Chains A and B, each alone.
Chain A
Amino acid sequence: GQQVQQSPASLVLQEGENAELQCNFSTSLNSMQWFYQRPGGSLVSLFYNPSGTKQSGRLTSTTVIKERRSSLHISSSQTTDSGTYLCAMGMGYKLTFGTGTSLLVDP
């Protein structure tokens, strides 16, 4: 079965609203990361967050290893936040990705 589950699969926001994206892991892991994928484009690393809480601007990532989950909070969303957000768990030398959350922020 899927080792990394992301929810929701898709989300539509009005500009200015907040969003909470979830990632759950079925196995123990060494680390986890969040990536942002531009529509039709490449992936950009947002957070390497194996545990605890990290913040970068309007983005906050919280990982609770013991509960095998991580979340990404986007505050005061902007249209430029639209795209796909992927979480990935690290085990050894490789990352295993979730299927992503597709976010659309309307003006």
Chain B
Amino acid sequence: EAAVTQSPRNKVAVTGGKVTLSCNQTNNHNNMYWYRQDTGHGLRLIHYSYGAGSTEKGDIPDGYKASRPSQENFSLILELATPSQTSVYFCASGDPAGASNSDYTFGSGTRLLVI
């Protein structure tokens, strides 16, 4: 069954440390996305990718980097984690939002606590 798998499910990091969140999809979608979800803000787009080797800035990219080494894998990197990056992070894969039959699949989320 096609799916989006995130790891880890939970992570505690120290301020200033490096954090890497991983995402793997078996949907064979070209596009992948990283969102964070916070109370009062809904889901906000951090970075996205059109395919292997590409990364694009979303609406809130500051403090985050992304890497898309292959069709299946998309990572979110926090080089210097800060407490304000404590959040729930979701990865998704999908067809373009403007396609006639949009298909979006989300991972189960990663709960990150930066102390």
Which residues of the partner chain A approach B56 to less than 8 Å between Cβ atoms? Answer: 93
Q: Is the CB of A33 within 8 A of B104?
A: yes
Q: Is the CB of A86 within 8 A of B43?
A: yes
Number of interface residues, chain B, beta carbon within 8 A: 28
Q: Which of A10-18, A42-50, A53-61, A62-70 contacts B (4 or more CB under 8 A)?
A: A42-50
Nearest-neighbor residue (CB-CB) of A89 within chain B:
B97
Instruction: State A35–B33 Cα separation when bound (angstroms).
Output: 16
Q: Is the CB of A98 within 8 A of B45?
A: no
Q: Is the CB of A41 within 8 A of B108?
A: yes
Which residues of the partner chain A approach B103 to less than 8 Å between Cβ atoms? Answer: 45, 48
Please report whether the interface of chain A is mostly helix, strand, loop or mixed according to DSSP: strand
Which residues of the partner chain A approach B90 to less than 8 Å between Cβ atoms? Answer: 42-43
Instruction: State A66–B31 Cα separation when bound (angstroms).
Output: 28
- Interchain nearest-CB distance for A1 vs B (Å): 13
- Interchain nearest-CB distance for B114 vs A (Å): 20
Which residues of the partner chain A approach B48 to less than 8 Å between Cβ atoms? Answer: 93-94
Instruction: State A30–B104 Cα separation when bound (angstroms).
Output: 15
Interface string of A72-107 (1 = CB under 8 A from B): 000000000000001010111111111110000000
Interface string of B27-68 (1 = CB under 8 A from A): 000010101000011111100101000001011000000000
Instruction: State A53–B50 Cα separation when bound (angstroms).
Output: 30
- Interchain nearest-CB distance for B55 vs A (Å): 12
Which residues of the partner chain B approach A100 to less than 8 Å between Cβ atoms? Answer: 42
Partner of A42, one of B40, B59, B101, B108: B108
Partner of A92, one of B40, B96, B106, B108: B96
Contacts A90-B97, A91-B98, A99-B41 aside, 9 further interface pairs with beta carbons under 8 A come to A33-B104, A43-B43, A43-B90, A43-B106, A45-B105, A93-B56, A93-B98, A94-B58, A97-B35
Question: What are 15 A-B pairs with beta-carbon distances under 8 A?
Answer: A30-B97, A41-B109, A43-B92, A48-B101, A48-B103, A88-B43, A91-B97, A91-B98, A92-B98, A95-B97, A95-B104, A96-B59, A97-B35, A97-B44, A99-B41
